[in-house]
Amino acid sequence: MKGKILLTGVNGFLGRNIYSLLRPAFNEDDFVFLLRSHRKDIAEEMKLKNVYLLSSSLDDMDLYKRIFKEHDVETVIHCAAIPKETRMKWQEYEHVNIKWPKVLADSFCRFSKKAKRFIFISSIGVYGTSPYKPYISEQDRPMPDGKYHLSKKLAEDALISIFSKENNEDINLFVLRLNTLYGKDDKGVLWKMFCLLKKRILPIWGELETSFCSVDLVAEAIFALLSSKNNRGVVLNVSEPSFNLIDFLERESQFILYQKIKPIKLPRWSARPLFLFNSAWISNKVALLSGDKSYDISKLESLINRKVKPMEMFPKYRQYYRGCVS
């Protein structure tokens, strides 16, 4: 690799994992980081080099111009974002999740002489939670619900428009639509599931077929994009195949909780009234526990050149989840 990688969000769950999984294949100096100034201590703690701090504004074009003049950045991995549905106002999502990637991508194309690829971390949630579709491929029309998923979709559209206007065929956009992640430092869905399972209050509606994605699979996909010579830009679902969640939790509870515990099984129809609350926060959560999901991952498998199995990396993280629930 000739140019450097600019990574945003290295202090977050995914960013930190991407960095530690990519790092062994590169030199320390091959990375450039963009962090908010209040995370300066984390940069010191992680002993990062080439750190640029954002003060109040995320659209500080002068700062981006300076970064791209001082470093030959070949790849941007834009990972930082408001990563879930919260009570924050839409304007905040618009600013952080849409405007920021737009300004960063625009500056990258304009000022980086080595610009080659912009990898945008999106979410598989852009397909929407309801009305529910059981099998989704990249050809399906996204139907985002809620501020978080909508902001990711609008950011994707804005980036696609920026990169399609670029006359230079050597600069490409890669949109990675990630499924719900698991891995070290996860404080998200799977972690919460084990905490609730321990208290025996985890409900699952129906015989739920669902899927997750390991941080390792994300890093593997990024690796494949970095090492492939003639990749055209692409939108990619990054997910493992689906599996029966009840069987998985019961089996894994033996390793994580040291006893076999089954989630509370409820009939699928009883989840329906919960969608009537019409809050994206509730419907996203209920959809995770009640709606069957499977994604077409053939594009991902052809990129990384191997078959992907359900929860293939989970044993690597048993120790982490064990520590979290205890």
Ligand X SMILES: NC(=O)c1ccc[n+]([C@@H]2O[C@H](COP(=O)([O-])OP(=O)(O)OC[C@H]3O[C@@H](n4cnc5c(N)ncnc54)[C@H](OP(=O)(O)O)[C@@H]3O)[C@@H](O)[C@H]2O)c1
Nearest approach in angstroms of CB 210 to ligand X is 13
22-35 core/surface letters (b: 16 or more CB in 10 A; e: else): beeeeeeebbbbbb
Instruction: State the virtual CA torsion across 59, 62, 65, 70 in degrees, nearest 10.
Output: -120
Contact between 107 and ligand X per CB under 6 A: no
Contact between 14 and ligand X per CB under 6 A: yes
Binding flags for ligand X, 133-172, as an x/- string (CB under 6 A): ----------------------------------------
Nearest approach in angstroms of CB 153 to ligand X is 12
Q: Using the minimum distance from each CB to ligand X, give the nearer residue, 18 or 115.
A: 18
Q: Using the minimum distance from each CB to ligand X, give the nearer residue, 180 or 290.
A: 180
Nearest approach in angstroms of CB 284 to ligand X is 11
Residue nearest to ligand X (CB): 12
Contact between 181 and ligand X per CB under 6 A: yes
Concatenating the DSSP letter of every residue in 35-91 gives EEGGGHHHHHHTT-SSEEEE-S-S--HHHHHHHHHHS-EEEEEE--S--S--SS-HH
Q: Using the minimum distance from each CB to ligand X, give the nearer residue, 148 or 275.
A: 148
**What does the block give as tokens for 99?**
């405007």
Contact 172, 163 (CB under 8 A): yes
Contact between 60 and ligand X per CB under 6 A: no
The residue written with tokens 């689906």 in the block is 242
Site for ligand X in 21-40 (CB under 6 A): 36, 39
Q: Of 324, 322, 283, 238, nearest to 131 (Cα)?
A: 283
Contact between 80 and ligand X per CB under 6 A: yes
Binding flags for ligand X, 262-301, as an x/- string (CB under 6 A): ----------------------------------------
Contact between 311 and ligand X per CB under 6 A: no
Other Cβ atoms closer than 10 A to 321: 22
- State how beta strands 51-54 and 73-78 pair: unpaired
Distance CA 291, CA 237 (A): 18
Q: Using the minimum distance from each CB to ligand X, give the nearer residue, 152 or 261.
A: 152
Quick check: bond before 142 cis, omega within 30? no
**Contact residues for ligand X, defined by CB under 6 A:** 9, 11-15, 36, 39, 79-83, 96, 121, 123, 178, 180-181, 188
